[in-house]
Amino acid sequence: MVNKLGIGVIGLGRLGSSYAKYFTGRIAGGTLVAVSDVNETAVATLGAELGISKRYTRYQDLITDDEVDAVVIVSPTSTHKEIVFEAAEHGKPTFCEKPLSISLPEAQEMLRTVEETGVFFQMGFMRRFDKGYLAAKHKIDQGDIGTPVVFKSSSRDPYRPSLEYLDPAHSGGLFIDCGIHDLDLARWFMGEIASVFSIGGTLAYPEMKEIGDIDNAITSLYFTSGALGTIDLSRNGVYGYDIRTEILGTEGTLKIGYLRETPIMVMTKGGITHDTVPYFTERFEQAYITQLQDFVNNVLQSKPPGVTCADGVAALKASAAATLSFKENRPVTI
Residues 263-282 that bind a second copy (CB under 8 A): 263-276
Stretch that binds a second copy, among 10-18, 80-88, 94-102, 201-209 (CB under 8 A): 201-209
- Binding of a second copy by 251 (CB under 8 A): yes
Pairing of strands 94-97, 70-73: parallel
Stretch that binds a second copy, among 86-94, 105-113, 137-145, 315-323 (CB under 8 A): 137-145
Residue in 197, 241, 280, 295 binding a second copy, rule: CB under 8 A: 197
Residue in 61, 67, 79, 139 binding a second copy, rule: CB under 8 A: 139
- Binding of a second copy by 172 (CB under 8 A): no
Q: Calculate the alpha carbon distances from 312 to 16, 187, 188, 282, 322 in Å.
A: 19, 11, 12, 24, 15
- Binding of a second copy by 206 (CB under 8 A): no
Complex with a second copy: residue 249 or 312, whichever CB lies closer: 249
Give helix 280-300 / helix 14-22 axis angle, nearest 10°: 50
Residue in 220, 297, 298, 308 binding a second copy, rule: CB under 8 A: 220
- Binding of a second copy by 89 (CB under 8 A): no
Residue in 1, 82, 165, 258 binding a second copy, rule: CB under 8 A: 258
Stretch that binds a second copy, among 100-108, 126-134, 302-310, 313-321 (CB under 8 A): 126-134
Query: Do residues 194 and 333 touch, judged by C-beta distance below 8 A?
Result: yes
Q: What is the smallest separation between the CB atom of 238 and a second copy, expressed in angstroms?
A: 5
Complex with a second copy: residue 136 or 318, whichever CB lies closer: 136
Question: Position 284: which residue type?
Answer: F
Q: What is the smallest separation between the CB atom of 168 and a second copy, expressed in angstroms?
A: 19
- Binding of a second copy by 315 (CB under 8 A): no
Residue closest to 109 by CA, chosen among 135, 137, 88, 130: 88
Residue in 44, 104, 211, 228 binding a second copy, rule: CB under 8 A: 228
- Binding of a second copy by 327 (CB under 8 A): no
Q: Which H or E element spans position 189?
A: helix 179-190
CA gap 249, 142 in Å, rounded: 12
Residue closest to 283 by CA, chosen among 266, 260, 265: 260
Q: What is the smallest separation between the CB atom of 307 and a second copy, expressed in angstroms?
A: 20
Q: Supply φ then ψ for residue 127, to 5 degrees.
A: -60, -30
- Binding of a second copy by 204 (CB under 8 A): yes
- Binding of a second copy by 182 (CB under 8 A): no
Pairing of strands 5-10, 70-73: parallel
Q: Please list, in sequence order, all residues whose beta carbon lies within 8 angstroms of the beta carbon of residue 217, skipping any fewer than 6 positions away.
A: 174, 175, 179, 198, 199, 200, 201, 232, 233, 322, 326
Size of residue set near a second copy by CB under 8 A: 73
- Binding of a second copy by 11 (CB under 8 A): no
Strand order in the sheet with 148-156: 242-249, 148-156, 228-234, 216-223, 193-201, 332-333
Residue in 240, 305, 306, 312 binding a second copy, rule: CB under 8 A: 240
Query: Do residues 16 and 42 touch, judged by C-beta distance below 8 A?
Result: no
- Binding of a second copy by 119 (CB under 8 A): no
Residue in 117, 257, 298, 324 binding a second copy, rule: CB under 8 A: 257
Query: Do residues 80 and 107 touch, judged by C-beta distance below 8 A?
Result: no
CA gap 37, 331 in Å, rounded: 41
Residue in 15, 24, 310, 334 binding a second copy, rule: CB under 8 A: 24
